[in-house]
Amino acid sequence: MTAKILDGKAQAAELRGVLAQRVAARAAAGKPAPGLATVLVGDDPASQVYVRGKHKACREVGITPIGYELPAGTPQAELLALITELNGRADVHGILVQLPLPAHLDAAAVQSAVALEKDVDCLHPANLGLLAQRDRQPRFTPCTPTGVMRLVKLAGLALPGANAVVLGRSNIVGMPLALLLTKADATVTIAHSHTRDLPELCRRADLLVAAVGRPELVRGDWVKPGAVVIDVGVNEVPDKAAHRGRRLVGDVAFDEAAAVAAAITPVPGGVGPMTIAMLLENTLHAAELAEA
Ligand code: NAP
């Protein structure tokens, strides 16, 4: 079997086109451009690249990016004061605090300080809690997990009753994704670093999602023939032949898994672009909620 490649880049571009039309329609109706405030603390090069990418994507669809760059040593009180200021600004509809934060800062406290109606990353415990409750919905669904759900839909997998295995239980990917899949009536198993016999567990998955941050952990013989495989992992590995001596790989050994799976996401070009598209969608939704 040769898997269908789930092209997140193309899917995200299509979505951005739709979002740009919706933003343009708002402008034509005299409504303000949605605004996304990004807060970057410190000078981590990867985080700088991610934030730049988010700003570019915002501009492409007509969302105004409002960037804050704070020094690595910024005290907690100063960061919280900025969040409070952004919570009160009418031109800011979404607030994104780029993670990871420097170790001296309390990320949980910062996430809890973001106003619920501007929590476009869905990291506030109240929004995450709503995701966990039956018959209730948060204002926003988290960006990476929602992007994964769209790619599963693209794969054509019927989720009710399907066995879904999610590798990873982080607040930002694994846990909220498991909740979304449960809401979609899949039977979900969450695996983590204490899970016994991971290969055997994975072989039972109709949907296998890897979000662990371990390069090519998932091998081809862990994949059930015909399964859908979504690779969230982004890992840099040395490669002398590659430009800059490094290349990106996912958490799945792509060639091996693609020979067995029905559908699979590439890295890069799979989940990553979808995450950004979902952030844009949530920001537009926040602007709409602010006017409702
Ligand atoms: P994280 O917070 O480090 O969580 C990793 C999870 O994987 C933890 O639950 C950990 O278990 C589990 N784990 C680690 N090693 C394992 C192993 N050998 N076997 C089974 N489980 C293992 O990471 P994250 O923030 O969720 O990110 C995961 C990956 O996704 C990273 O590569 C990250 O760069 C990538 N990512 C991509 C996007 C995107 O848009 N493409 C967005 C976010 C993250 P414990 O809980 O027991 O420690």
Q: Answer yes or no: is the C-beta of 211 below 6 A from any ligand 1 atom.
A: yes
Same fold, 30-115 and 143-272: yes
Whether residue 225 has pLDDT greater than 70: yes
Dmax over CA atoms of the chain, in Å, equals: 58
pLDDT of residue 1: 64
Best residue among 171, 232, 236, 252 to mutate for probing ligand 1, ranked by most atoms within 8 Å of CB: 232
User: Which one is catalytic: 11, 111, 118, 121?
Assistant: 121
| Structure confidence at residue 24 as a pLDDT band (50, 70, 90) | very high
Residue nearest to atom 31 of ligand 1 (CA): 213
Ligand 1 site-directed mutation target among 122, 128, 170, most atoms within 8 Å of CB: 170
Please state the domain extents for the chain: 30-115, 143-272
Cα 181 to middle of ligand 1, angstroms = 17
98 part of the active site = yes
Beta carbon of 194 within 6 Å of any ligand 1 atom: yes
DSSP collapsed to 3 states, the chain: CCCEECCHHHHHHHHHHHHHHHHHHHHHCCCCCCEEEEEEECCCHHHHHHHHHHHHHHHHHCCEEEEEEECCCCCHHHHHHHHHHHHHCCCCCEEEECCCCCCCCCHHHHHHHCCHHHCCCCCCHHHHHHHHCCCCCCCCCCHHHHHHHHHHHHHCCCCCCCEEEEECCCCCCHHHHHHHHHHCCCEEEEECCCCCCHHHHHCCCCEEEECCCCCCCECHHHCCCCCEEEECCCEEEECCCCHHHEEEECCECHHHHHCCCCEECCCCCCHHHHHHHHHHHHHHHHHHHHHC
For atom 1 of ligand 1, which residue has the closest CA?
170
* Predicted pLDDT at 285: 98
CB 214 within 8 A of CB 138: no
**Average pLDDT of the residues in 82-103:** 97
Triad 174, 230, 94: Cα angle to 5°: 55
User: What pLDDT was estimated at residue 244?
Assistant: 87
The number of angstroms, rounded, from the C-alpha of 75 to the middle of its chain's C-alpha atoms is: 27
Q: What rounded mean pLDDT belongs to the chain?
A: 97
For residue 32, the model assigns a pLDDT of 96
71 prior amide bond cis, ω within 30:
no
> Is residue 196 in contact with ligand 1, taking CB distance under 6 Å?
no
Query: How large a percentage of the chain has pLDDT more than 70?
Result: 100
**Domain 143-272: homologous superfamily in CATH:** NAD(P)-binding Rossmann-like Domain (3.40.50.720)
pTM above 0.75, yes or no: yes
Contact of 65 with 59, CB cutoff 8 Å: yes
- Ligand 1: nearest atom to the Cα of 234: 32
CATH superfamily of domain region 30-115: Leucine Dehydrogenase, chain A, domain 1 (3.40.50.10860)
**Ligand 1 pocket mutation, candidates 234, 265, 280, 282, criterion most atoms within 8 A of CB:** 234
CA of 125 to the centre of ligand 1 (A): 19
Looking at residues 210-219, what average pLDDT do you find?
98
Beta-bridge mates of residue 8? none
CB 133 within 8 A of CB 106: no
The half-sphere exposure of 111 on its side-chain side, counting CA atoms within 13 A, is 18
> Is 121 in the active site?
yes
Q: Ligand 1 atom 19: the closest Cα is on which residue? A: 193
Quote the pLDDT of residue 176: 98
Active site residue 54: yes
Distance CA 40, CA 96 (A): 9
Residue 7 C-alpha to ligand 1 middle, in angstroms? 22
pLDDT band at 29 (very low <50, low <70, confident <90, very high): very high
